[in-house]
C-alpha cells in the first residue's frame, strides 16, 4: 500500500430523509449498493431525528441527490463536516481533540489510488 496526496477539493453532501420521504426504502437500497459504489466515494448513513427534508444518481437514484445538496471543500474541512461541527468553526478546533457530539465509533480515513 502506498499513501498518495489527498485531493485539494472534495465534495460532501447531506440528504435528510424522513419516514414520509421513504427513509426506510432508501436505507434498504443503500445496504444493497454500498459495497458496489465507486471506491472513490465514501458514503455513510447517519440515523438521526430530522426536521427537514452523477456518481450517486447512477448508483443510488432513490437518494434524490441534487447539486444543491453538495458542497465543495478541502479534505480537512470535510473532517469538520463529518464530525458535525458548524461551518463557522475554525480548523484549529480539531487540535482540541473533542467532538461536539457523543461519538460511539472510531473511524479512519485514507485516500489511496491504484497505481496504473
Bridge partners for 44 per DSSP: none
Each residue's pLDDT tens digit, 48-86: 654 444 777 777 788 887 878 888 888 888 888 888 888
The proportion of the chain whose per-residue pLDDT surpasses 70, expressed as a percent, equals: 78
Q: Report whether pLDDT(99) > 80.
A: no
Alpha-carbon distance 33 to 100, whole Å? 30
Please check whether residue 12 is in contact with residue 78, taking contact to mean a CB–CB distance below 8 angstroms: yes
Alpha-carbon distance 76 to 66, whole Å? 23
Each residue's pLDDT tens digit, 12-50: 888 888 888 888 999 999 889 888 888 888 888 887 654
Strands (E) located in 35-74: 70-73
Residue 43's pLDDT is: 82
Alpha-carbon distance 23 to 47, whole Å? 9
Amino acid at each position: 500500500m502506498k499513501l498518495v496526496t489527498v485531493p485539494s477539493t472534495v465534495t460532501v453532501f447531506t440528504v435528510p430523509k424522513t419516514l414520509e420521504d421513504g427513509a426506510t426504502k432508501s436505507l434498504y437500497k443503500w445496504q444493497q449498493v454500498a459495497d458496489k459504489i465507486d471506491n472513490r466515494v465514501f458514503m455513510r448513513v447517519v440515523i438521526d431525528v430530522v426536521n427537514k427534508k452523477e456518481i450517486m444518481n447512477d448508483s443510488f437514484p432513490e437518494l434524490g441527490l441534487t447539486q444543491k445538496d453538495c458542497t465543495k471543500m478541502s479534505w480537512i474541512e470535510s473532517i469538520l463536516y463529518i464530525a458535525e461541527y458548524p461551518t463557522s468553526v475554525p480548523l484549529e478546533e480539531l487540535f482540541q481533540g473533542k467532538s461536539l457530539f457523543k461519538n460511539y465509533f472510531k473511524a479512519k480515513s485514507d485516500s489511496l489510488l491504484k497505481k496504473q
